[in-house]
Amino acid sequence: MENLIFTTTLVAPVFLIVALGFALRKFGLINDNFISFSSKIVFSVSLPALIFIEISTIQLGEILNLELISFAYLVTVISFLLSWLISIPFIKVGKDRSVFIQGSFRGNYAIVGLAIITNIYGTSSLGKASLLLAFIVPLYNILSVIALTVPMRGEKQINFIKTLIEIIKNPLIIAVMAAVLVSYFHIPVPDVILITVDYLSDIALPLALIGIGGYMSISDIKKASYISFSSTAIKLILIPLIGTYFAFLIGFRGEELGILFILFASPTAIVSFIMADAMGANSRLAGNILLITTLGSVITITIGIFILKENGLI
């Protein structure tokens, strides 16, 4: 019951802000231009600031766990490939397939995941969880760029050199690299800079959610429901089930198993919507998948935590 109450308390404000964005759009207080520009601000400034703040303060040498990171990488890549294979028979439009793949494998570990991990294990676990984030974000972005370009190769010309440069220049990857350097070499950062970056990070989630609400359309949800719910089933049920089961077989227990479960079970990342919009994919479908997975994760994460705790595994 405690985990159910906490998860509901965590997710409810997210939907209230999404609903606010939907209402603002309905009343004409925001429009397509606002949503487009705010998405770019979140992707280029606010989310990188959030990632930098979370990673730059951890001690890399003390909590580096290569086995945990390697397993997370393996499951993420397998999830990416599995989502792609599943999409081939029934999603023919490249813009839809791109979003389906990204929505199925990329989780909101940075925001929802870290919050739940802190609730389960306390702030002492945040270092290990954040370090995993530092390694997983570059992989997420590389796979997302592939997912958002290759399926649309028949709809637009793909320049692979340019795509590689886009990956390297990705603001989230730059933020991770900068944060790791600051942490590893103990580079002092002036308080005024840290406070400013912290302010920028604070607007990442609400601004992104308002944009999602502004893009939301009930008719679009109905039309895309079979794609949205298929992606949701993969993200919230199939991947956490397979990933956590094999983590258990390998020997992960306690905090490490809990972190891996939350990584696999987190709802679709907000940045998946932002990247879909920025790269010309079906951003409305991306928003629908994000909304449905976030809502569904209240149930699936709670059930997963209950099962693992009931069996003394985390």
Boundaries of every domain in the chain:
41-204+225-310
Query: Taking 90 as the threshold, does the pLDDT of residue 284 lie above it?
Result: no
> What's residue 151's pLDDT?
82
Q: Among residues of the chain, what percentage have pLDDT more than 90?
A: 27
Q: What is the mean pLDDT of residues 222-233?
A: 83
The residues facing 268 across adjacent strands are 107
Task: For residue 118, give the 3-state DSSP assignment.
Answer: helix
Structural tokens at position 19? 């609903």
The residues facing 107 across adjacent strands are 268
Structural tokens at position 12? 């409810």
Q: What is the mean pLDDT of residues 108-123?
A: 80
**120 — phi, psi (to 5°)?**
-75, -45
41-204+225-310 CATH: 1.20.1530.20
Place of tokens 């928003």: 287
Query: Taking 60 as the threshold, does the pLDDT of residue 131 lie above it?
Result: yes
> What's residue 72's pLDDT?
97
Say which range, 81-85, 127-131, 251-255, has the weakest mean pLDDT. Answer: 127-131
Query: Which one-letter DSSP state was computed for residue 109?
Result: I
Q: What is the mean pLDDT of residues 17-24?
A: 86
Instruction: List CB contacts of 45: < 8 A, sequence separation 6 or more.
Output: 171, 200
| Cα 122 from Cα 118, distance rounded (Å) | 4
Answer for the pair 212, 294: CB distance below 8 angstroms, yes or no.
no
| Cα 60 from Cα 5, distance rounded (Å) | 33
Helix (H) or strand (E) holding 14: helix 2-26
